[in-house]
């Protein structure tokens, strides 16, 4: 799975692709790729903490842009990596960027695993929640809506960061709303760092979180190989 993620990341416009991991077996799977491996501590509580250790070891500058691609995203489109990075390139003062898609199924609105995002008029995130957000009072009055309206957005878990924003993040304790929702991106909002958002420009498949997800992706790769 990691090999697939790395191979797709290498097709993006990234200057370098780094893999931060705490397991030598993972590092060993990449010896014949152009990815640069960085061994990190086993004690990190989040992937963001792991990234910060890696960028400190690598000596990145404060305004360098880092795109975080999770190791369970074997279908990540390279164009999506470029898109989220471009958001920060085009906004020199912004520290964090991410993407969203329009929700197309009613069940997603009420699914706590589908994180919703509400935007301001300048496409910055106002809030992220596992709850249905915004709450459509008239549409929800008699229960779940029977139709989807174009004001529900699902947050997609790919981020671009400037190094200075990452270092600020790990200097703060987990925030109140972050702990309530179990969404660490809320730590940025609670500490005054805005997150600029953009609608994803290419379909982004869900990552692999369950055995069923793994079976689905394996079947897809088998079909492609045929």
Count of structural domains within the chain: 1
Q: CA-CA distance, 200 to 198, in Å (whole number)?
A: 6
Tell me the CATH number at 183.
3.90.550.10
Using an 8 Å Cβ cutoff, are 66 and 186 in contact?
no
71-97 b/e with 16+ CB inside 10 Å = b?
A: bbbbbbbbebbbbbbbbbeeeeebbbb
On whether residue 39 sits in a domain, the answer given is no
> For residue 188, is the peptide bond before it cis, meaning its omega torsion is within 30 degrees of 0?
no
On whether residue 17 sits in a domain, the answer given is no
pLDDT tens string, the chain, 226 residues long: the values are 888 899 999 999 999 999 998 989 888 888 889 999 999 988 888 888 899 999 988 989 999 999 999 888 888 999 999 999 999 999 999 999 999 999 888 888 888 888 999 999 999 999 999 988 887 776 666 666 666 677 789 999 899 999 999 999 999 999 999 999 999 999 999 999 999 999 999 877 767 777 888 888 888 888 877 6
> Could you tell me the CA-to-CA distances from 225 to 167, 218, 219, 221, 222 in Å, in that order?
42, 11, 10, 6, 5
On whether residue 106 sits in a domain, the answer given is yes
On whether residue 81 sits in a domain, the answer given is yes
For residue 87, the enclosing domain spans 60-225
On whether residue 25 sits in a domain, the answer given is no
pTM, two decimal places = 0.87
Using an 8 Å Cβ cutoff, are 74 and 8 in contact?
yes
């Amino acid at each position: 799975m990691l090999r697939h993620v790395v191979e797709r990341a290498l097709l993006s416009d990234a200057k370098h692709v780094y893999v931060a991991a705490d397991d030598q077996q993972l590092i060993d799977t990449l010896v014949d790729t152009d990815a640069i491996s960085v061994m990190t501590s086993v004690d990190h509580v989040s992937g963001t903490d792991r990234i910060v250790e890696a960028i400190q070891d690598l000596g990145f500058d404060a305004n360098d842009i880092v795109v975080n691609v999770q190791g369970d995203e074997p279908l990540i489109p390279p164009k999506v990596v470029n898109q989220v990075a471009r958001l920060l390139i085009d906004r020199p003062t912004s520290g964090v960027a991410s993407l969203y898609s329009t929700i197309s199924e009613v069940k997603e609105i009420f699914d706590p695993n589908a994180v919703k995002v509400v935007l301001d008029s300048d496409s910055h995130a106002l809030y992220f929640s596992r709850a249905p957000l915004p709450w459509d009072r008239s549409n929800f009055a008699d229960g779940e809506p029977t139709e989807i309206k174009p004001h529900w957005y699902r947050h997609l878990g790919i981020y671009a960061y400037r190094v200075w924003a990452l270092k600020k993040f790990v200097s703060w304790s987990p925030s109140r709303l972050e702990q309530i929702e179990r969404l660490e991106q809320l730590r940025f909002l609670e500490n005054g760092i805005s997150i600029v958002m953009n609608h994803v420009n290419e379909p982004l498949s869900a990552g692999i979180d369950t055995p069923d997800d793994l079976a689905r992706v394996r079947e897809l790769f088998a079909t492609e190989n045929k």
